Structures are given as structure tokens and as C-alpha cells.
A and B are shown apart, each in its own frame.
Chain A
Amino acid sequence: MLTPAWCALAKGGFTRTLWPVLARDLKTATRTGGGWLQALFFFAVFCTAAVFAIGPERAALSQTAAAMIWLGGAFAVQLAAPGIFSVDLEDGALPALAAENPSLSGYYCAKVLLLIMLASAPIALLSPVFFIFFALSPGNALSASAAVLMGAPTLALTAATTAALGSGSKGGGVLSTALAAPIVTPVIIFGVAASEQAATGVFFSPELRILGALTLFYAVALPPIAISALRVTLE
């Protein structure tokens, strides 16, 4: 015998939407012909192309390593982001979910976690390999990647926010990438600097601290904006 859910559960539905949505989307991602690999694949192609573009000279490669890897990562996450909302907009799942979780906070958090798990974290975990391609020593590559890993949640957060802002228009993908400029630029500036510092042996550099502060600031400032945008899309 089932208990009537509306007596047994608290209001709001944050966790009640968060976990099922995350579980469902992870399962969907593993099914759709390696869909979860797409961001990682884009990142790998971007970095490889960058290596070709810069040329085989080791000094030039190691100098541009951090910049290229952060740029590739940021673009890969940015391009993956619009898709996480469009799946639920196209088939009308969003209204049904919003009826359960009117603030959409649980839904949004599930999508950010999804983007971290499918895009930014795998990219950060793979980045040591590419730092080595860019002529860094394995030790330096690892510490430079640690800075990327620290910035990974921020990349997902900014991408999810701009994707939410662009979710109401047809060219949402392009628009959201354009809107990302102001909020992603500081992440890239300090991320690249932190990775460069880490590669020279200074891991807890001022830049890394600023990157950490930026992550905290965005974690507070961006979700309300993204959630408001999703609610506008829903209207």
C-alpha cells in the first residue's frame, strides 16, 4: 500500500526533483551513442588542433599550454550546456517538473551537477594528458590540471546560466555563447594564470585564490539568475 505522497513529503520538492532528474539524465547520456563523451571529444579535438596550429616547438607549446587548455575546456562546456535544457523544453517535461518543483531550484542544480559530471570534470581529469602534449613535465602537468579541476564547477555554472538565458530563443546556442563573454572571461583570466603558476611550482598562488573566490561568488550570484531565466522560458 502506497502512502499518499502529499502528506509524507515536505513542500518545495528540491531534493525530490534533484536526484531523479540527475539519475535519469545520466542514464540517458550513457544511452545516446556516447552523448556524454561529446564535450570531452570536442576538448580533445580542440587541443590537438591547437598543438598543430602552434607547431612542434616545445617552448612555444609550453607557453600556450594553459591558455589553450582553459579555452578548449570553456568552449566545450559552453557548447554542451544548451542541450541540457533543450531536451526538457522540446518534449514538454519542464512544465511537468515545474509543477512539482515550482522554484526549479532542484532541477537547475541537477543540471549543473550533470554538466560537471559529463563535461567539465572529465575535461579536467583528462587535461594532464594534454598538458603533457603541450610539453609540460608530468609533475607540472598534474599541478596545472589541479587548477583546471578547481575551475571546473565554475565553468559548468557559467555555462548553465548562459544556456538558461538563451533557452527561450531559437538561436539559443549561439546567443548563450555570446552572453557568456562577460562572466567567463574572468574565469579564464585567473584560471590560465593559476595553471601557469601551478606549472612553475607555485600551487597556492594568488590567482588560484581569486579563482576560488570567483567560484564561491558565482555559486551565490548565478543560480538565481539562471532559475529566473528558466521560469521566464516556462511562462
Chain B
Amino acid sequence: MATVFDTFANPARFEALSKRLAPFCLISALLLIVIATPLALAFSPADYQQGDAVRIKYVHVPAAWLATLAFTFMAAMSAIAFVWRHPIADEAAKSAAPVGLAMTGLTLFTGAIWGKPMWGAWWVWDVRLTSALVLFFIYLGYLAVWDAVEDRTKAAKYARLVALTGFINVPIVKFSVDWWNSLHQPASIIRMDGPTIHSSMLTPLLMMILAYSLFFGWFVLTGVEASILETRAQRRVAPTPTPSTMTEAPRQPLADAASDTARANG
């Protein structure tokens, strides 16, 4: 555990790891999408109730999955940064936020275009939908904190607290369909009694989810890598100021305080 931790905490080792892992993530994500898209759009059956509109779920479900995964990841990274003070954890949380924001937006958008033919409305004030909208705002707030505070180390510290506070909302998004009577359909993949959808639908769906997750991994890895490079570049452009050391000057006699000050100030 300690070695895994050190690998991720050390910028140079992280870079080496990321150089190998990131392309793998990206290529496998693309491959999966290329394979899963025809499966989802052509070879999987239409739903007997929803018709072809059901195909939106091959985008909607993975996006929603990633929206909550990204925030959970951010909260976990923030907790790590909070306890162990690893700056890379802050950067990882920060790189995850834009993906999370985009995916929450995509979830809301695909949900709306599915809702129009199914429920007859673009939007309903349902617990699941509302909590997803709130998640969208939390992502915005999190990014706004990074933007609003000039001192990066301070911004990171506030952002951690925002991520930890905002995490309250994630279980609400996930379990809202079970806790309240919701218009949104209940979970059908991760259930105590096994998935309730047929394998011809489940296979492309799971491939999509995996593809999105790998894409997320690629995004975060490259995001952290970029921030490491950025920090290094900044150091080169503006070298860190030399810190002060302390020296004791001769004692200031009462009579000529002024001249001594001049000497002390050099």
C-alpha cells in the first residue's frame, strides 16, 4: 500500500506511470466504444415498452455513472489530500471536476430528450432529476472555488472542503430512486438480486460504462500530468524566491538606536 501511495505521490514516478497508463486507457476506451456502438444501436433489441428511445440509455447510463464516480473520486482524493497533504491528490480531484461537470450535463441533456417522448415532458421535478441538477451546481461551485481564490495552495484547501461537503449529495443521487417514490426507473444493473435486463442489452451497456470509466482515467492522468508540467514550467520562469534566514545583529544600545537600525538594515 505504502509503495502504491508513494508512486502516486511522487511527481516523477507518477509521470512515468502515467506515460504508460494513459495511452492504454485512451486506446481501450476508443476500442470499446467502436465495438459497443453498433451493438447498442443496431444489434441490441428495442424495448417492448420504450421502443428505440431506449437506446439513449447507452449514453445516459454511462454518463450518469461517470458523473457520480467522478465526484466520489474527487471526494476521496480530497480526503487523502486533507489527511496526507499530497498535492497530487488535489490536482487529481481538480482534473476530475470538468469531466464530472460535462457528464452531469450530458446526463441531464440525454435524460431530457428521453423524457420528452416517454413522460411527455423535458423536465420533471423528480428527486433523481433534482439531485442530479444539484450535483451539476456542486461541480460548478467546486470549479468556481479554484477560480476565485488566487493563492493555489489555499484554493486547493477550500476546494477539498467543498468536495467533502458536496459529497453529501452523491448518495442522494444514487439512492433517491429507492428512498422516494420516483418517476425515474429504479436501478437495474447493480441490484441485490442480480441485473434485471437481458444480456443483449447489458453487454453493450457494460462495455459503454467501462469505456467511459477508462476515458475518465485517461482524462485524470493527463490532467495531473499537465499540472505537474505546468508547475515545473512556472518554477523555471519564476524561480522560487530565496527564503529568509535569521541573523543576530549587535545589541541595540539605547543611545544610538537610529544608526544601529541603519546597520541592521544593511
Direct contact, A vs B (beta carbon within 8 Å): yes
Q: Which residues from chain A sit less than 8 Å from chain B, CB to CB?
A: 161, 165-166, 168-172, 175, 178-179, 181-183, 185-186, 221-222, 225, 228-229, 232-233, 235
Question: Is B148 in contact with A175, judged by CB distance below 8 angstroms?
Answer: yes
Interface size for B (C-beta < 8 A) is 22
Question: Is A175 in contact with B144, judged by CB distance below 8 angstroms?
Answer: yes
| CB of B82 to closest CB in A, whole Å | 8
The answer, yes or no, to whether B165 is at the interface (CB within 8 Å) is yes
The answer, yes or no, to whether B189 is at the interface (CB within 8 Å) is no
CB-CB under 8 A from B158, the residues of chain A are 165, 168-169, 229, 232
The answer, yes or no, to whether B169 is at the interface (CB within 8 Å) is yes
Q: How distant is the Cα of A175 from the Cα of B149 in the complex, in angstroms?
A: 11
Question: Is B165 in contact with A182, judged by CB distance below 8 angstroms?
Answer: yes
Q: State which of B130, B141, B154, B169 has its C-beta within 8 Å of the C-beta of A179.
A: B141
In chain B between 142 and 175, which residues have their CB closer than 8 angstroms to a CB of chain A?
Answer: 144-145, 148-149, 154, 157-158, 161-162, 164-166, 168-169, 172
Binary per-residue interface labels of chain B (166-196) against chain A in the complex, 1 for a CB within 8 Å, 0 otherwise: 1011001000000000000000000000000
Q: State which of A166, A168, A181, A221 has its C-beta within 8 Å of the C-beta of B138.
A: A181
Question: Is B141 in contact with A168, judged by CB distance below 8 angstroms?
Answer: no
| CB of A175 to closest CB in B, whole Å | 5
Q: How distant is the Cα of A172 from the Cα of B162 in the complex, in angstroms?
A: 14
Q: How distant is the Cα of A209 from the Cα of B165 in the complex, in angstroms?
A: 22
Q: State which of B134, B140, B149 has its C-beta within 8 Å of the C-beta of A185.
A: B134
CB-CB under 8 A from B149, the residues of chain A are 168-169
CB contacts between A and B, total, < 8 Å: 63
Question: Is B157 in contact with A181, judged by CB distance below 8 angstroms?
Answer: no
Question: Is B161 in contact with A165, judged by CB distance below 8 angstroms?
Answer: yes
Question: Is B141 in contact with A232, judged by CB distance below 8 angstroms?
Answer: no
Q: How distant is the Cα of A115 from the Cα of B134 in the complex, in angstroms?
A: 25
Q: How distant is the Cα of A235 from the Cα of B164 in the complex, in angstroms?
A: 20
Of all chain B residues, the one with the shortest Cβ separation from A158 is: B165
The answer, yes or no, to whether B119 is at the interface (CB within 8 Å) is no
**A165-B154 contact in complex given A185-B134, A229-B161, C-beta closer than 8 Å:** no
The answer, yes or no, to whether B43 is at the interface (CB within 8 Å) is no
Question: Is B157 in contact with A165, judged by CB distance below 8 angstroms?
Answer: no
The 8 closest A-B pairs by CB, nearest first: A169-B148, A232-B157, A181-B137, A179-B141, A182-B169, A169-B149, A182-B138, A178-B141
Q: How distant is the Cα of A221 from the Cα of B161 in the complex, in angstroms?
A: 12
CB-CB under 8 A from A168, the residues of chain B are 149, 154, 158
CB-CB under 8 A from A183, the residues of chain B are 165, 168
| CB of A215 to closest CB in B, whole Å | 14
Question: Is A171 in contact with B148, judged by CB distance below 8 angstroms?
Answer: yes
| CB of B166 to closest CB in A, whole Å | 5
Of all chain A residues, the one with the shortest Cβ separation from B172 is: A186
Q: How distant is the Cα of A16 from the Cα of B209 in the complex, in angstroms?
A: 55
| CB of B118 to closest CB in A, whole Å | 25
CB-CB under 8 A from A186, the residues of chain B are 172
**A225-B137 contact in complex given A168-B149, A182-B169, C-beta closer than 8 Å:** no
Q: How distant is the Cα of A171 from the Cα of B158 in the complex, in angstroms?
A: 14
| CB of A105 to closest CB in B, whole Å | 16
CB-CB under 8 A from B166, the residues of chain A are 182
| CB of B11 to closest CB in A, whole Å | 23
CB-CB under 8 A from B144, the residues of chain A are 175, 178
**A170-B148 contact in complex given A165-B158, A181-B141, C-beta closer than 8 Å:** yes
CB-CB under 8 A from B162, the residues of chain A are 165, 179
Binary per-residue interface labels of chain B (125-145) against chain A in the complex, 1 for a CB within 8 Å, 0 otherwise: 000001000110110110011
Q: How distant is the Cα of A170 from the Cα of B137 in the complex, in angstroms?
A: 20
Q: How distant is the Cα of A166 from the Cα of B166 in the complex, in angstroms?
A: 14
Of all chain B residues, the one with the shortest Cβ separation from A175 is: B148
CB-CB under 8 A from A181, the residues of chain B are 134, 137-138, 141
Q: How distant is the Cα of A178 from the Cα of B135 in the complex, in angstroms?
A: 12
Question: Is B164 in contact with A225, judged by CB distance below 8 angstroms?
Answer: yes
| CB of A180 to closest CB in B, whole Å | 9
Question: Is A235 in contact with B141, judged by CB distance below 8 angstroms?
Answer: no
CB-CB under 8 A from A221, the residues of chain B are 168
Can you give 29 contacting A-B residue pairs, CB < 8 Å? A165-B145, A165-B158, A165-B165, A168-B149, A168-B158, A169-B158, A170-B148, A171-B148, A175-B144, A175-B145, A178-B137, A178-B144, A179-B141, A181-B141, A182-B134, A182-B141, A182-B165, A183-B165, A183-B168, A185-B130, A186-B172, A225-B164, A225-B165, A228-B157, A228-B161, A229-B161, A232-B161, A233-B154, A235-B154
Q: How distant is the Cα of A75 from the Cα of B255 in the complex, in angstroms?
A: 62
